[in-house]
């Protein structure tokens, strides 16, 4: 299988410009800037079926085309490198092992949308990643791949690293923009959408790290090549992060459409100690979990949506038959309650309420009416918030309750709790 975003992983000094240029690094950017129009670049990315690999899976070229050409305001590209989704750790590999592939993608994207400034927003805990990207920017500037008149053209581009402050909500694109502007990371009401009113009130494209790292290879080898690597409407490969109860956890680059069974058993080495699979989260902790009878699903956006889950960020968390699913639900609910930004009442109050209710089950304090009430509490959050955080809480925790209800019931049956006066 031909690798795209992980092709330089594991190569000595892969983060250096000298190494990156040995196999044609920055030649795709040169091709775009000197032989293609911005519209042609956008069309090529559209034909490639590249979709946003940060979670939503929106067609990338279409997103770029929403930038209004006749708007006199500056246009910006913002790279979402917050990567706060539990179970997801792919972007840090690109930052640290192949930062120049990201920078080349940035150059091409900015040229396509008419932007002369890009912000790379990286979560604050990723100190090594921040340093690696900044070092790559410095190298690229010295080589005239960034700055004024890059590569001998009249195109100027500045790339700035912005360090986040550890808030999961800032992975939501409009909350990220608020944070980038120096404000509290509260999601914005839409419309207006960022393509029209984004950072500093200007037209803005926001893309994930892995998404932009795919752009250079698409321009170098063509949209048809990339589209054929994946499944229908899901072009190319993607990086899957596999953790939990597997023999070989890690990051695997495989074509969109690879089945979950193949990922778990063929690539991640199966379940340790011969134990059985009990449940798996297919796309980061926000994704509704799947049961063993569902793992023949193709790991692309459309296939997972069709069975009631989502591809999300590609973070696969595997749980074997020793896992207490009430405990797992409690851990997920605690995360959502802690990370709610508090702007919307249903999420601010509801996520904490859900966590406390699930914890009652785990602690052995739950009563029969708690199980009756829990689905209603969960479902009152989703669809009633500004951003998708409330939906994530509803879908994620709701899937534990619906698919492993018997474990919640068992906690009630074993209840020895005696309330105090």
Per-10-residue mean pLDDT, the chain, length 421: 93 97 96 97 97 91 94 96 94 97 98 98 96 98 97 97 93 96 95 96 97 98 94 92 98 95 97 97 95 96 95 95 97 96 95 96 92 92 94 95 95 58 38
According to the CATH classification, is domain 325-410 in 3.40.50.2300? no
pLDDT on residue 220: 97
CATH architecture of 237-320: Roll (3.10)
Q: Where in the chain is the domain with CATH 3.40.50.11540?
A: 17-229
pLDDT on residue 417: 44
Q: Where in the chain is the domain with CATH 3.10.20.600?
A: 237-320
Largest CA distance in the chain: 80
pLDDT on residue 166: 81
pLDDT on residue 418: 47
Q: Where in the chain is the domain with CATH 1.20.1440.230?
A: 325-410
CATH number of 17-229: 3.40.50.11540
Contact status, residue 211 vs residue 94, Cβ threshold 8 Å: no
pTM of the model: 0.94
SS (H, E, C) the chain: CCCCCCCCCCCCCCCCHHHHHCCCCCHHHHHHHHHCCHHHHHHHHHHCCCECCCCCCCEHHHHHHCCCCCCCCCCEEEEEECCCCCCCCCHHHHHHHCHHHHHHHHHHHHHHHCCCEEEEEECCCCHHHHHHHHHHHHHHHHCCCCECCHHHCCCCEEEEEEECCCCHHHHCHHHHHHHHCCCCCCCCCCCCCCCCCCHHHCCEEEEEHHHHHCHHHHHHHCHHHHHHHCECCECCEEEEEEEECCCCCEEEEEECCCEHHHHHHHHCCCCHHHCCEEEEECCCCCCCCECHHHCCCECCHHHHHHCCCCCCCCEEEEEECCCCHHHHHHHHHHHHHHHCCCCCHHHHHHHHHHHHHHHHHHHCCCCHHHHHHHHHHHHCCCCCCCCCHHHHHHHHHHHHHHHCHHHHHHHHHCCCCCCCC
pLDDT on residue 413: 67
What does each C-alpha distance from 321 to 31, 44, 274 come to in angstroms?
52, 46, 10
Q: Which of 82, 44, 296 is nearest to 180 (CA)?
A: 82
pLDDT on residue 56: 84
């Amino acid at each position: 299988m031909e690798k795209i975003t992980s092709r330089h992983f594991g190569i000595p000094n892969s983060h250096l410009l000298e190494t990156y240029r040995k196999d044609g690094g920055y030649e795709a950017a040169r091709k775009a800037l000197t032989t293609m129009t911005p519209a042609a670049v956008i069309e090529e990315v559209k034909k490639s079926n590249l979709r946003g690999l940060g979670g939503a899976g929106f067609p990338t070229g279409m997103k770029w085309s929403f930038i209004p050409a006749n708007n006199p305001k500056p246009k910006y590209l913002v790279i979402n490198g917050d990567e706060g989704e539990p179970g997801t750790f792919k972007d840090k590999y690109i930052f640290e092992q192949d930062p120049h592939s990201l920078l080349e993608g940035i150059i091409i994207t900015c040229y396509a949308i008419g932007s002369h400034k890009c912000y790379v927003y990286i979560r604050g805990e990723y100190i090594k990643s921040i340093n690696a990207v900044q070092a790559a920017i410095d190298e690229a500037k010295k080589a005239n791949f960034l700055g004024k008149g890059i590569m001998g053209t009249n195109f100027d581009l500045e790339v700035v690293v912005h360090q986040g402050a550890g808030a999961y909500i800032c992975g939501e694109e409009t909350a990220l923009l608020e944070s980038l502007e120096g404000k509290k990371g509260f999601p914005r009401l839409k419309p207006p959408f960022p393509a029209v009113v984004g950072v500093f009130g200007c037209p803005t494209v926001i893309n994930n790290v892995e998404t932009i790292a795919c752009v250079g290879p698409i321009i170098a080898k063509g949209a048809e090549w990339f589209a054929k690597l994946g499944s229908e409407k899901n072009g190319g490969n993607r990086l899957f992060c596999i953790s939990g109860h597997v023999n070989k956890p890690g990051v695997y680059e495989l074509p969109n459409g690879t089945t979950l069974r193949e990922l778990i058993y063929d690539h991640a080495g199966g379940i340790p100690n011969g134990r059985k699979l009990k449940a798996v989260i297919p796309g980061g902790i926000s994704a509704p979990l799947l049961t063993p009878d569902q793992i023949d699903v193709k790991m692309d956006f459309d296939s997972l949506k069709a069975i009631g889950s989502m591809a999300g960020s590609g973070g696969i968390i595997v749980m074997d038959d020793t896992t207490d699913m009430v405990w797992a639900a409690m851990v997920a609910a605690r995360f959502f309650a802690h990370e709610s930004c508090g702007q919307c009442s249903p999420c601010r109050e509801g996520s904490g309420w859900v966590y406390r209710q699930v914890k009652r089950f785990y602690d052995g304090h739950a009563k029969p009416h708690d199980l009756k009430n829990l689905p209603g509490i969960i479902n009152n959050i989703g669809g009633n918030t500004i951003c998708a955080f409330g939906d994530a809480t509803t879908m994620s925790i709701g899937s534990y309750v619906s698919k492993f209800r018997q474990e919640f019931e068992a906690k009630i049956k074993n209840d020895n709790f005696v309330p105090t006066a």
